[in-house]
Amino acid sequence: MSRVPENPEATTSIRDESDPQMRARLAELEKTWQSPRGFIGWFTHVNHTSIGKRFLITAMVFFLLSGLLALAMRLQLLSPLNDVLDAQTYNQVMTVHGTAMMFLFAIPAMEGIAIYLAPLMVGARDMAFPRLNAFGYYVYLIGGTVFFLSLPFGLAPDAGWFNYVPLSGPEHSAGYGIDVWTTMITFIEVSALTAAVELIVTILKLRVPGMSLNRMPIFVWAVLVMSFMILFAMPSVIVASSFLMMDRLVDTAFFDVTLGGSPLLWQHLFWFFGHPEVYIILVPALGIVTSIVITFTQRPLFGYTAVVLALVGVGMISFGLWVHHMYTTGLPLMGRSFFMAASTMIAIPSGVQIYCWIATIWGSRPRYASPMIWVLGFFAIFIAGGLTGVMVASVPFDRQVHDTYFVVAHFHYVLIGGAVFPLMAGLHYWFPKITGRMIGEQLGKWSCAVTFVGFNLTFFPMHQLGLEGMPRRVYTYLPDLGWGDLNLLATGGSFVMAAGFGMILVNIIVSLRSGEVAGDNPWNASTLEWATASPPLNCNFAEQVSVKTANPLWDWHEQNQRAMVSGLSTTQRETIVTTLLDALPQSVMILPGPTIWPFVSAVVASICFLGLIFSPWFFVVGVFGTFATFVMWFIPPRYTTDPNADLPEEAKS
């Protein structure tokens, strides 16, 4: 379908505001894509920019809260036999910190940034299933809030974020804490799964014409890999937590040794999810880093294919190394050796990516704006964390440091270095796109420096602590073991790091009010999200474009012309559908508009999940109750009278 113009006939862009007819069309289009206002209206939003922003903000709130919990733990560990938190409270705080950072912050934040950016980057007007998107958000919001509120109400789980049985089983954990964990985590996973389906279909089917798979921005590739990983990893944690839920609520015997159950079944299922989980967080972060490296070196990426293969490779290998969390459980050495080899294999795709970035940067004299500074911080921390990762992949060494502060140090290097630093880099990079204003440069750089110093002060000493024999998850320690000084240092560092994050928060608030107005493309980036206004229009793009290369904005600039798609309606929400591989135009999808029903569905579903804690009959209620709301959500309104315009069966999502 894609035609090279023999004589490119210049037509007027409909964003050309000098043309009153175009202005009227744009106004009509914007009205079609407008999200309702008002309090009730807030619950009916379906546009991905709105939902993505909510995901991001909610995730950041959970990040701050979980970070405060971390400070509380650091205060308790400040000195030996400290009594800031008692044992029970400490264990709850530790469990909620770990669980929330993983399930309520890291994954949703990555999903949020993906939901906001991926459709813009592929040039779509919205995601494939906007209402499902909204449903996923409310599920996350309600599930996450209930989970977090369990802490002030004293009902929080206290068996650690990986919740090993039999400790978390009915015999050893009475009370509602673990039930809150199993039901709410299963529930929140539903949200991760909806987002994954959403992102996969959007990326595969809603790319603008010409954006074949080999022209997709690396970030979009990373999101695609992340989504597939969610698709295949989450079911095993859902199965595991359902088993545990049933063991606790209806007396099944999955993990009961006396009745033929197995505690290790939990560990296999949990880590089959848990290990890919880490890469689910890491992979989109690598995509963010790539985007920033490209923009701030003003060069196309060196080794595009290699990086894509590396991302896909990381995704696939990550499913084959869960046993390295179980080196000490007495599995045969033969099996563990296989997983040792598989675990260290990750070093190859990671190395390829790092060196592709170095090759891209080589001699480019990158521009040292705040996003690039955060990326440089990422390099140092992530490489250090990756190297200790190779160390703990070694069976004999891991048998010493497993479940010690060495591992605590390692995974904070990987997760904060590998995910939080890129996320902050991304925040500084896309802040102008999301808000229309630049983020403060000076404060942006200083906050990075302070966070970097604080981070290393906090976590570097933990390597040493682990080697000195300090196990993880201890609420206190004896004075004579000599761990006091390094713990004091780590606690001091944690407050420096907190100050760094505080500076980011201040920077965001100040920049929102008085940041410099950004314009469409302040960094001279090459990907499509910068081809629309900042913040994006309701319809994302006044006209959908057609692309020829991987860096369309730079080409448009060079050739001083661009190709577009015409013929989309201005009165209903339309976006173009293309073929899977080559992105040839195929059809036009009509997207559904705002509705309250996803919110109602999420509320009904959350009542049912919460009810499960008290009675298994809520399962039956849940199936029928949720089904009823789904019918209302999908139902075609007044189809007999209006056969052409409103085709909600197609638009149902």
Partner 1 sequence: MSSNCESDKGPADNCITPHMTDKTTPHQTVVHGSRARAASARCDRDASRPLFWQPGVSCLRVLVLAFPLAGCEGMQSVMDPVSRDAYLMAQLGWWMFAAAIFVFIVTIGLLGVAIMIRHGDKKGVPSFRFSTGLVVAGGVLAPLTAIIAVVISGVLISDETEGDPGLAGPVIEVTGRQWWWEFRYLNDNGETVAVTANEMHLPVGRRARIKLISDDVIHSFWVPNMQGKTDLIPGQTNILYAEPAQAGRWRGQCAEFCGLQHALMGLLIVAEPTDAYDAWLDHQARPAVVTDHPGLDVFVEQNCSICHTVRGTRANGTRGPDLTHVASRATLAAATLPNTRGNMGGWITSTHSVKPGVAMPATAPPPDDLMALLDFLDALE
Partner 2 sequence: MKTWIDIDASELPRLAPRTHPLWWGILSAVAIEAAVVANLLASYFYLMAQTEGPWPPAGTEAPPILWPTVFLVLLPLSSVTMWWAGRGSDRGDKRQLAIGVTASVGLALLALVARSFQIASFDVKWSDSAYGSILWTITGFHFTHVVSAILGTAVVAVYAWRGYFNPARQLGVIVDTLYWYFVAGIFVPIYLVLILAPRIL
For partner 2, which is the closer residue by CB, 195 or 465? 195
Q: How far is the CB of 393 from partner 1 (least distance, A)?
A: 7
Q: Which does 193 bind (CB under 5 to 8 A by kind): partner 2, partner 1, none?
A: partner 2
Q: 183 - beta bridge partners?
A: none
Report which residue type is found at 181: W
Binders of partner 1 among 351-390, rule CB under 8 A? 351-356, 358-359, 361-366, 376, 379-380, 383-384, 387-388, 390
The structure tokens listed for 171 are 């015999």
Q: How far is the CB of 169 from partner 1 (least distance, A)?
A: 8
Nearest CA-CA partner of 120 in 516, 562, 386, 434:
434
Rg (CA), the chain: 25
* Contact code string over 563-602 relative to partner 2, x by CB under 8 A: xxxxxx-----x-xx-------xxxxxx------------
Determine if 1 is a binding residue for partner 2 (CB under 8 A).
yes
Q: How far is the CB of 121 from partner 1 (least distance, A)?
A: 25
Binds partner 2 (CB under 8 A): choice among 54, 402, 562, 573: 562
Q: How far is the CB of 37 from partner 2 (least distance, A)?
A: 29
Residue 152's contacts (CB-CB under 8 Å, 6 or more residues apart) are none
Determine if 631 is a binding residue for partner 2 (CB under 8 A).
yes
Determine if 442 is a binding residue for partner 2 (CB under 8 A).
no
Q: Which does 453 bind (CB under 5 to 8 A by kind): partner 2, partner 1, none?
A: none
Interacting span for partner 1 (CB under 8 A) from 67-75, 326-334, 426-434, 613-621: 326-334
Rounded distance between C-alpha atoms, residue 633 and residue 540, angstroms: 25
Determine if 129 is a binding residue for partner 2 (CB under 8 A).
yes
**Cα of 538 vs its chain's centroid, Å:** 23
Binders of partner 2 among 249-308, rule CB under 8 A? 250-254, 256, 259-262, 264-265, 268-269, 272
CA dihedral 530, 563, 222, 105 (to 10 degrees): 40
The structure tokens listed for 591 are 């997207």
Q: Which does 251 bind (CB under 5 to 8 A by kind): partner 2, partner 1, none?
A: partner 2
Determine if 397 is a binding residue for partner 1 (CB under 8 A).
yes
Please report, for residues 50, 281, 465, 640, 652, the alpha-carbon distance to residue 205 in angstroms, rounded to integers and kept in the order given. Answer: 21, 24, 50, 30, 16
Q: How far is the CB of 171 from partner 2 (least distance, A)?
A: 14
Rounded distance between C-alpha atoms, residue 572 and residue 29, angstroms: 8
Q: Which string of DSSP letters, residue by residue, matches 329-385?
A: S---HHHHHHHHHHHHHTHHHHHHHHHHHHHHHTT------HHHHHHHHHHHHHHHH
Evaluate whether 480 touches 491 at the Cβ level (below 8 Å): no
For partner 2, which is the closer residue by CB, 8 or 335? 8
Rounded distance between C-alpha atoms, residue 288 and residue 425, angstroms: 8
**Alpha helices, H only, 174-303:** 177-205, 218-249, 263-297
For partner 1, which is the closer residue by CB, 30 or 403? 403
Determine if 586 is a binding residue for partner 1 (CB under 8 A).
no
Binders of partner 2 among 506-545, rule CB under 8 A? 543-544
Binds partner 1 (CB under 8 A): choice among 125, 205, 299, 410: 299
For partner 2, which is the closer residue by CB, 5 or 38? 5
How many residues interact with partner 1 (rule CB under 8 A)? Answer: 90
Report which residue type is found at 346: I
Determine if 28 is a binding residue for partner 2 (CB under 8 A).
no
How many residues interact with partner 2 (rule CB under 8 A)? Answer: 84
Rounded distance between C-alpha atoms, residue 209 and residue 576, angstroms: 8
Nearest CA-CA partner of 403 in 457, 344, 324, 333:
324
Nearest CA-CA partner of 515 in 439, 464, 447:
439
Q: How far is the CB of 300 from partner 1 (least distance, A)?
A: 10
Binders of partner 1 among 262-291, rule CB under 8 A? 262-264
For partner 2, which is the closer residue by CB, 507 or 526? 526
Q: How far is the CB of 602 from partner 2 (least distance, A)?
A: 17
Q: Which does 647 bind (CB under 5 to 8 A by kind): partner 1, partner 2, none?
A: partner 2
Interacting span for partner 1 (CB under 8 A) from 87-95, 193-201, 429-437, 634-642: 87-95
Evaluate whether 45 touches 128 at the Cβ level (below 8 Å): no
Nearest CA-CA partner of 131 in 637, 632, 639, 641:
632
Q: Which does 514 bind (CB under 5 to 8 A by kind): partner 2, partner 1, none?
A: none
Q: Which does 566 bind (CB under 5 to 8 A by kind): partner 2, partner 1, none?
A: partner 2
Q: How far is the CB of 454 from partner 2 (least distance, A)?
A: 40
Tell me which residue has tokens 């140092």.
Answer: 380
For partner 2, which is the closer residue by CB, 255 or 411? 255
Rounded distance between C-alpha atoms, residue 64 and residue 584, angstroms: 44
For partner 2, which is the closer residue by CB, 31 or 557? 557
Determine if 477 is a binding residue for partner 1 (CB under 8 A).
yes
Determine if 193 is a binding residue for partner 2 (CB under 8 A).
yes
Q: How far is the CB of 268 from partner 2 (least distance, A)?
A: 7
Binders of partner 1 among 207-266, rule CB under 8 A? 257, 262-264
Helix (H, G, I), strand (E, B) or coil at 48: helix
Q: How far is the CB of 653 from partner 2 (least distance, A)?
A: 6
Rounded distance between C-alpha atoms, residue 597 and residue 300, angstroms: 44
Residue 138's contacts (CB-CB under 8 Å, 6 or more residues apart) are 598, 599, 602, 603
The structure tokens listed for 320 are 């084959």
Q: How far is the CB of 533 from partner 2 (least distance, A)?
A: 15
For partner 2, which is the closer residue by CB, 179 or 398? 179
Q: Which string of DSSP letters, residue by residue, matches 297-325?
A: HTSPPTTHHHHHHHHHHHHHHGGG-GGGG
Binders of partner 2 among 198-227, rule CB under 8 A? 198, 200-202, 204-206, 209-210
For partner 1, which is the closer residue by CB, 24 or 341? 341
**Letter string b/e over residues 119-155, b meaning 16 or more CB atoms within 10 A of that residue's CB:** bbbbbbbbbbbbbbbbbbbbbbbbbbbbbbebbeeeb
The structure tokens listed for 118 are 């991926």
